[in-house]
Amino acid sequence: MTHHDCDICIIGGGSGGLSLAAGAAQMGAKILLFESGAMGGDCLNSGCVPSKALLAAAKAAHYATGAPRMGVIGAPPQIDFPSVKAHVAEVIDGIAPHDSIERFEALGVTVISENAAFRGPREVASENHKVRAKYFVIATGSFPDIPQINGLSEVDFYTNETIFADPTKPDCLVIIGGGPIGIEMAQAHARLGVDVTVIEAVSIMAPDDIELVDMLKTQLESDGVKFIEGVSVAYVRQTKSREITLILANGVAIEASHILVATGRRPDIDRLNLPAAGVKFGKTGIVTDQRLRTSNKRVYAIGDVTGRQQFTHMASYHASICLRNVLFKYPAKIDETAVPWVTYCDPELAHVGLTHDAAIDRLGRENVMVTRWDLADNDRARADHRTNGMLKAVIHKNGRILGASILAPMAGEIIQPWILAIANRQKIANLATMIAPYPTYGEASKRAAGNFFTAKLFGKPTQKLVRFLLKF
């Protein structure tokens, strides 16, 4: 057993753990990192990166069919599915060196490729190593949450951790779960020639704006995706020929060659022996305060394992908060006012802040207003024949921006000024007076902001004032 002493011991080499390790090591702290799996965690190996690579291939296939309205005649693409998956692997391999053990050891981080668990409030141990540290940071992330469906454990099924490595093209893919992962994979596979059905027990994309979700659903259906909403899967069985039958709660039978389970994620805490460290936790994850400290003030938790928003960018943000607290003793607290999320389908669906319904619930209907701009009125969208989309912003009656939802090509890029505006408690006038390049999709932000003032600006009081002033 090798003994180590360090300033910060980090358990987990995903986005949050690596961000913290790199920053703290370069600032002079002695860092030890445990990661028993692949460096880079879920995002690099089975989440953000491979899903976007697959979506890129699917988009290429989709647009290879041409654009007859523009006079461009294409042809049905020939999909080489093993090569598609090879492209996904190549993208992962290209990014992997940035997250590699070699890079972090070069930064001065001690990396141990073993599982670690607490042995006490100030001690962690793995099979061959024992570590005492001034501070510990848990950054173990999350893993797929598999629902309790009769017969599911007896059949072969995909999760996001397995689907990207399989070169087999499904004949008929049934996706259980209509959240971001399920929706992205549905469109990607449909555009790559797979018969796709999404089953969602409630409604797809539940946290997002209903109006924009309905518009996105129309696009997905045009891509060939079928939806079954408001009903759960009762049980699953697999025949000797490997075909799978899903029986819904209403008795309807759905046939599939493959299943993808995309029903959410669970915090990865089971192996940590948290009681030994005096760290409180629950079903949603490790309990922290706004400084990301656990019930043991020498132990922090960041990223998915906290049960907060499960996004890579939030894990990195948590790392920055943790770093300020631990290294500089500055009582930095997380601020979740302006947390963005994006579903990277085509068009993309992006959101930040409060939805219309959430704003009404929190502030009252009388205090909430909405301004919007349809992509059908955006000249760049018209030129591209991509007018299925909308920018919708939620505004307090005093003009302060509360939230924004965007359905558009590259919505994840268009949403960024809205993130900044909400984070800085700016008013809608700041975006209305912005000079936006023409013609761009981003111009919709300025148009939506300007639309907020239309009634007042062009109303009768203004007209009376102008007529009066023009007398002089």
Q: How confident is the model at residue 454 (pLDDT cuts 50, 70, 90)?
A: confident
Q: How confident is the model at residue 460 (pLDDT cuts 50, 70, 90)?
A: confident
> pLDDT tens digits, residue range 96-147?
999 999 999 999 999 999 999 999 999 999 999 999 999 999 999 999 999 9
Nearest to 332 by CA among 349, 318, 348, 316: 318
Q: How confident is the model at residue 149 (pLDDT cuts 50, 70, 90)?
A: very high
Distance set, CA 452 to CA 75, 140, 174, 314, 355 (Å):
44, 44, 42, 31, 17
> pLDDT tens digits, residue range 301-333?
999 999 999 999 999 999 999 999 999 999 999
CATH of span 152-263: 3.50.50.60
Q: Say which range, 50-59, 223-232, 262-271, 445-454, has the weakest mean pLDDT.
A: 445-454
- Flag whether pLDDT at 162 surpasses 80: yes
> pLDDT tens digits, residue range 174-211?
999 999 999 999 999 999 999 999 999 999 999 999 99
Q: How confident is the model at residue 465 (pLDDT cuts 50, 70, 90)?
A: confident
pLDDT at 308: 93
- Fold classification of 340-457 is Enolase-like; domain 1 (3.30.390)
pLDDT at 67: 87
pLDDT (mean) for 76-94: 95
pLDDT (mean) for 82-102: 95
Question: Which residue bears the tokens 């296939």?
Answer: 61
- Flag whether pLDDT at 469 surpasses 90: no
CATH of 2-39+100-144+266-328, one of 3.60.70.12, 3.50.50.60, 3.40.50.300, 3.40.190.10: 3.50.50.60
pLDDT at 466: 79
pLDDT at 468: 80
pLDDT (mean) for 412-440: 96
| CATH 3.50.50.60 placement within the chain | 2-39+100-144+266-328, 152-263
pLDDT at 467: 84
Q: How confident is the model at residue 335 (pLDDT cuts 50, 70, 90)?
A: very high
pLDDT at 100: 95
